[in-house]
Amino acid sequence: MYIESLRTSAQKQGNIVCLGLDPLPEHFPFEELPPAQRVIKTFETLFDRMITRSLYPAAFKPNIGYYHRLDRPREGNFSGSKTLAQVLTMIEEAFPGVPVILDAKRGDIASSSANYAQEAFACWKADAVTVAPYMGSDSTGPFVSWCEKGKGVYILNRTSNPSGAELQNLELRDDAGGLAPLYMTVARAIAESAARFPGCGAVVGATNPQELGRLSAFYASKQVPLLIPGVGGQGGSAGVTVRTLSQSGYPIDLARINSSSGITHPWVKQKLAPPPDWDRLSTDALARLIEEISREF
């Protein structure tokens, strides 16, 4: 079951880091290679260095858009899709048993959602996928039912982006006549799905620690996996995130704290080209994140 694979991998690796793999080949080393090969060579080298330095994250999260944008299907070029396939195989071989979350943020009418679920689980063989909640339960249902087959589904709950509050924090009247933000209504729906389908989880950003605290307290006794993006590049703090989870009594081993660009290409934020020791920079950033999280773990 997905929940078990989260527990096992957290225990084995001793951390709850999720390494995001969102390639920007134009900012990657190996510039003599075509973009797709540059991605493969960069991640191959990174994985090698990670193993040499015993840096083992407890999940990986490729975002599908970064790969598909390298395809030129009308020209018969599927190099982005092939790259994603190869990266998934590389993870499986180098880090066996570590869950892979495909960040695809799907969600449609039921019959179309069923096809998108096939895309994530049957085509890409991902362990988990991200899904948007706003078309309702018949839209998330075809994904969530895959939890019975051992897959995981993370439903967007309170996202990390600056505009996330525009809709997600709209106040609704609750059953008791008080006001509560929409993300709490979504949280209740996620908890209901998780009670029937263990492996159904929530995406909650690290950029709003108070809201993360409220949600992790709500989920604390409900066995709802949390995927927490927004540390590093977006300004969230890994240390604050782990402390927030601990203080709310949330079972830490079910959480995954994601960092993508802050690990795989930290030089881009400073508008720099990849330096000659890019692999040391990347693995240092990963080592710091693992350290920061393990200290509080």
Ligand X SMILES: O=c1ccn([C@@H]2O[C@H](COP(=O)(O)O)[C@@H](O)[C@H]2O)c(=O)[nH]1
Work out whether 142 is an interface residue with ligand X (CB under 6 A): no
Work out whether 140 is an interface residue with ligand X (CB under 6 A): no
Query: Contact letters (x/-) for ligand X, 100-139, by CB under 6 A?
Result: ---x------------------------------------
Q: What is the 3-state secondary structure (H, E, C) of the chain?
A: CHHHHHHHHHHHHCCCEEEEECCCHHHCCCCCCCHHHHHHHHHHHHHHHHHHCCCCCCEEEEEHHHHHCCCEHHHCECHHHHHHHHHHHHHHHHCCCCCEEEEEEECCCHHHHHHHHHHHHHHCCCCEEEECCCCCHHHHHHHHHHHHHCCEEEEEEECCCHHHHHHHCCEEECCCCCEEEHHHHHHHHHHHHHHHCCCEEEEECCCCHHHHHHHHHHHCCCCCCEEECCECCCCECHHHHHHHHHHCCCCHHHEEEEECHHHHCHHHCCCCCCCCCHHHHHHHHHHHHHHHHHHHC
Work out whether 169 is an interface residue with ligand X (CB under 6 A): no
Work out whether 244 is an interface residue with ligand X (CB under 6 A): no
Kindly determine how many residues on this chain lie close enough to bind ligand X according to the rule CB under 6 A. 19
* 7-15, 77-85, 229-237, 239-247 -> range binding ligand X (CB under 6 A): 229-237
Among 5, 145, 259, 282, binds ligand X (CB under 6 A): 259
Give least dist CB 257 to ligand X, A: 10
Work out whether 258 is an interface residue with ligand X (CB under 6 A): yes
* 175-183, 214-222, 228-236, 276-284 -> range binding ligand X (CB under 6 A): 228-236
Among 152, 199, 201, 205, binds ligand X (CB under 6 A): 205
Work out whether 211 is an interface residue with ligand X (CB under 6 A): no
Among 160, 241, 282, 283, binds ligand X (CB under 6 A): 160
